[in-house]
Amino acid sequence: MATRLGDVLRALPAKLRLEGEAKLAIEIAHHRLAVTGVLFLLAFSVVALRLVDVTVLKEGHEPRLAHLPRAAGLDIERADIVDRNGELLATSLSTASLYANPKMVSDPADAAAKLVRAIPGLEAKEIAARLGSDRSFVWIKRNLTPRQQYAVNRLGIPGLFFQPEERRVYPHGSLVAHIVGYTGIDNHGLAGIEQSMEERLRSSNEPLQLSIDIRFQHIVREELARAVEEFQAIGGAGIVLDVATGEVLALVSLPDFDPNSPGTAEGDARFNRVSLGTYEMGSIFKIFTAAVALDSGTVTLRDGYDATQPIKISRFTISDFHPQRRFLTVPEIFMHSSNIGAAKMAVDVGTQRQREFLGRVGLLRPASIELPEVGAPLVPSPWREINTMTIAFGHGISVSPMQVATATAAVIDGGVMRPSTILKRADGAPVPSQRVVSARTSEQMRRLMRLVVERGTGKPASVPGYLVGGKTGTAEKIVNGRYAKNARISSFVGAFPMNAPRFVILTMLDEPKGSKATFGFATGGWVAAPAVGRLVARLAPIAGIGLVDENAPELREQMFINAAVR
């Protein structure tokens, strides 16, 4: 075809032939340009599709790490945790983590030296070794700050990339450490609510609401820390429990730690003394001894026991810390915290009934609280008569402060047991309950606990106008299989107002030391009861509990003990 076209052109006049050749050249050029344009269009289309694939479909040039097994822990979305009033306790913030493809790093030593200057805390040798490996992926630093990310970007080192991640943040720091817990580097819960509610926190975007009131929590921690420091204790525990619902409004264990950097915690700071620790709680157990004795009908408030002489059984001697050396009525046994009287009372109740009652109020099983750190009680096996006698005043059985607070609430709130919870109960939702003693026994126990604060060993917990009641407890710790006289657990469990209890408060000090102000004593009445008194004075106004006239005839009648007390 081209030959025939050439022959035609040669046959034409010269001028026309020149014009035809020019048109042919132009036509050929047009065809070439069109082909080139199409090729460029195809090339740009490929580039554009690749950009869409990389930047939109694959979310940037960083390799998607979520395709790794879920065990790698990179599914990082997590719901917030808030207190009962919506105050933020835990949340997640977007961060960037730095990784490298060592195969793309030309000079590992130089790159490492630059990274160490950009990100304080890195070790040049370690980073150089990572960058010089034959792998295609190595972490350099997780959860960079924005400033660190900017500094690394400015270095312009090939082979470094950023992976979007989230970091768990705890705005209140150590204040709620033993409640909320913390997560690991890959955002999996490792302690506290973060661990026990892992599935809920990952499966819902709705905040998880706890029963904790951050205002109560702050006050309890402040007062407990004051007591720990004043009496040089190695630790302490504090609880505030809503009697009617079983909701935990405050839970403090000291020492504590910062969940934002749990790796810096020292000693036993991560140990939860409230729910995980189990201790012989001492005379606080007389609450349960008196309750089962009164409820079973083996004694009345008018009955009593001879506490003149210590009890000798086998190779053991049971004596009183403040001996009265006389016959004591049941109210006096409770008020003066007589071990002798409590032991005799328990013998009359009997081992079977004692054990069955302690099981009913939750003292023979782990606390029901929704925390992974829950300790199992230590109970005697076999349960002999000597065990029955010593358990009557809180020796020979180890339980957690959480168990004691829950059981105490059951005894004084009409005799109805409600499981404790760290989660806020829905308004109007039914609360599981079980009767453990009669309403009459519960009323009698409220009177006895009020008597302890009004006239007995718990006087330092008294706060005029709030009708505080309670029971002291002191027990020597077992060290190397023996009771250590200079190492004790001192505690006080209180409630208010005793005519219609709203809250149970427990404070416990681990190995407190007596001071000049306490005349060298470090028992529960001297070191733990005052802290409860201060807590009542500070918490009651927040809870809207007003002052009352404790000498009003109707209140005196309501709290009157109809038995001889001196």
**pLDDT, position 71:** 36
Amino acid at 105: V
**pLDDT, position 42:** 67
Q: Are 256 and 427 in contact (CB under 8 A)?
A: no
**pLDDT, position 314:** 80
Out of 92, 174, 283, 462, pick the active-site residue: 283
pLDDT band at 135 (very low <50, low <70, confident <90, very high): confident
Q: Which of 464, 466, 484, 463 is nearest to 475 (CA)?
A: 484
Active site residue 283: yes
Strand partners, 506: 239, 493
Amino acid at 28: I
Higher pLDDT, 2 or 342: 342
Residue 65 has pLDDT above 60, yes or no: no
pLDDT in tens, 260-287: 999 889 989 999 999 999 999 999 999 9
Residue 5 has pLDDT above 70, yes or no: no
**pTM for the complete prediction?**
0.80
Q: Are 72 and 154 in contact (CB under 8 A)?
A: no
Amino acid at 289: T
Residue 32 has pLDDT above 80, yes or no: no
Q: Which of 272, 191, 282 is nearest to 239 (CA)?
A: 272
Share the mean pLDDT of the chain.
Answer: 87
**pLDDT, position 301:** 94
- For the chain, the straight-line distance linking the first and the last C-alpha, in angstroms and rounded, comes to 134
Higher pLDDT, 365 or 45: 365
Mean pLDDT for the stretch of residues 410-428: 94
Residue 41 has pLDDT above 70, yes or no: no
Q: Which of 28-42, 353-367, 383-397 has the lowest mean pLDDT?
A: 28-42
Q: What are phi and psi of 548, to 5 degrees?
A: -125, 160
* 3-state DSSP of 82-115: ECCCCCEEEEEEEEEEEEECHHHCCCHHHHHHHH
**pLDDT, position 76:** 47
**pLDDT, position 96:** 77
Our measurement of the distance from residue 265's CA atom to the centroid of its chain's CA atoms, rounded to an integer in Å, reads: 15
Alpha-carbon span 48 to 61, nearest angstrom: 14
pLDDT band at 108 (very low <50, low <70, confident <90, very high): confident
pLDDT band at 156 (very low <50, low <70, confident <90, very high): confident
Alpha-carbon span 322 to 336, nearest angstrom: 7
pLDDT band at 383 (very low <50, low <70, confident <90, very high): very high
Mean pLDDT for the stretch of residues 55-70: 40
| Angle, CA 76 vertex, CA 75 and CA 81 arms, to 5° | 135
Alpha-carbon span 115 to 119, nearest angstrom: 6
Residue 10 has pLDDT above 60, yes or no: no
Element (H, E) at 416: strand 416-417
pLDDT band at 16 (very low <50, low <70, confident <90, very high): very low
pLDDT band at 527 (very low <50, low <70, confident <90, very high): very high
**pLDDT, position 473:** 96
Q: Are 377 and 363 in contact (CB under 8 A)?
A: yes
Mean pLDDT for the stretch of residues 10-21: 53
Mean pLDDT for the stretch of residues 341-359: 97
Beta-strand relationship, 434-435 and 81-82? unpaired
Q: What separation in angstroms does the CA of 274 have from each of 52, 237, 288, 374, 400?
A: 55, 6, 19, 9, 6
**pLDDT, position 36:** 66
Q: What separation in angstroms does the CA of 26 have from each of 11, 14, 20, 39, 316?
A: 21, 18, 10, 20, 120
Higher pLDDT, 121 or 49: 121
Q: What single-letter DSSP state applies at residue 524?
A: H
**pLDDT, position 555:** 87
**pLDDT, position 48:** 58
The sign one gets for the Cα dihedral 413, 417, 423, 428 is negative
**pLDDT, position 380:** 94
pLDDT band at 481 (very low <50, low <70, confident <90, very high): confident
Three-state DSSP state, 63: coil
Residue 170 has pLDDT above 80, yes or no: yes
Residue 136 has pLDDT above 70, yes or no: yes
- CB atoms inside a 10 Å sphere around CB 408: 28
Element (H, E) at 478: strand 469-479
**pLDDT, position 460:** 96
